[in-house]
C-alpha cells in the first residue's frame, strides 16, 4: 500500500502542484517586439495532464481532467506570446479579441478546477486518513478558488470601460486569485505528504 500510494498518488499530486505553479508565475522575456513567458502556461497544463493520467487509475473523473488539461495546453500556446496586462496602458491597448480569448481560457480553467475538485474528493486516499480536516481544507480552498475566478470573470467586462486612472482596481481580483492558487497548491502538497506517511 505504501509503494502504491507513493507512486500512484504522491507523485502526480506534486506534479499537479508544479503545473499550477507554472500557471501562476508570469516572467516575461522581451526580444524586440516579442514577449515570451518563461514559465509557459502550456507546460503547466501539460504537467496537470500527466498527473491526471496517473490519477485516472484511481477515479474516472480524472479522465475528464486529463482531456481538459491537454486541451488547455494546446489552446494556451498563443497566450505565452501575447502582451501581458501589466499596466493600465497595456490593458487598454489589448484588442477585444484577445480579451475574449483570455476569458475563454479562464472559463476552461474554472471547468478544469471543478473536475479536479470532484476527482480529489473521490481519491481512495481519504480512506486511510483518519482526520477529515485535510479533506475539508482541500474542498474549501478549491471552491474558494473557483468562486474567485467566477467573480473575476463576472466583473471583468466592467474593467474594459474604466478610465485609465481607475484600472488599478484590476489588480485586486488578480492578486486574490493568485493567493488562492498558492493555498490550493499548498494543500496538494499536504495531501502528497499525507499519502507518504501512510503505512500498510
Give me the count of residues in the chain. 200
Lowest mean pLDDT among 1-5, 133-137, 174-178: 1-5
* pLDDT attached to residue 78: 79
Average pLDDT over the chain reads 82
- Give the three-class secondary structure for 123: coil
CA 11/CA 28 separation, integer angstroms: 29
* pLDDT attached to residue 96: 72
pLDDT band of 91, cuts 50, 70, 90: low
For the segment 158-168, what is each residue's pLDDT rounded down to a tens digit? 776 665 555 56
For the segment 40-76, what is each residue's pLDDT rounded down to a tens digit? 889 999 999 999 999 998 889 999 999 999 999 999 8
- Give the three-class secondary structure for 162: coil
pLDDT band of 34, cuts 50, 70, 90: low
| Residue 89 scores a pLDDT above 60 | no
CA 55/CA 62 separation, integer angstroms: 6
Average pLDDT over residues 126-152: 89
| Residue 132 scores a pLDDT above 90 | no
CA 81/CA 36 separation, integer angstroms: 5
Amino acid at each position: 500500500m505504501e509503494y502504491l500510494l507513493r507512486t500512484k498518488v504522491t507523485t502526480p499530486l506534486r506534479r499537479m502542484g508544479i503545473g499550477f505553479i507554472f500557471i501562476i508565475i508570469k516572467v516575461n522575456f522581451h526580444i524586440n517586439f516579442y514577449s515570451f513567458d518563461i514559465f509557459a502556461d502550456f507546460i503547466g497544463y501539460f504537467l496537470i495532464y500527466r498527473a491526471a493520467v496517473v490519477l485516472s487509475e484511481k477515479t474516472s473523473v480524472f479522465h475528464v481532467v486529463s482531456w481538459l488539461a491537454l486541451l488547455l495546453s494546446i489552446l494556451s500556446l498563443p497566450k505565452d506570446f501575447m502582451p501581458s496586462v501589466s499596466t493600465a496602458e497595456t490593458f487598454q491597448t489589448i484588442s477585444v479579441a484577445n480579451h475574449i480569448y483570455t476569458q475563454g481560457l479562464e472559463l476552461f480553467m474554472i471547468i478544469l478546477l471543478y473536475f479536479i475538485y470532484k476527482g480529489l474528493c473521490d481519491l481512495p486516499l481519504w480512506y486511510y486518513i483518519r482526520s477529515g480536516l485535510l479533506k475539508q481544507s482541500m474542498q474549501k480552498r478549491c471552491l474558494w478558488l473557483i468562486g474567485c475566478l467566477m467573480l473575476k470573470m463576472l466583473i471583468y467586462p466592467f474593467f474594459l470601460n474604466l478610465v485609465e486612472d481607475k484600472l488599478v482596481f484590476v489588480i485586486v481580483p488578480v492578486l486574490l486569485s493568485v493567493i488562492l492558487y498558492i493555498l490550493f497548491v499548498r494543500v496538494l502538497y499536504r495531501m502528497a505528504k499525507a499519502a507518504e506517511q501512510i503505512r500498510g
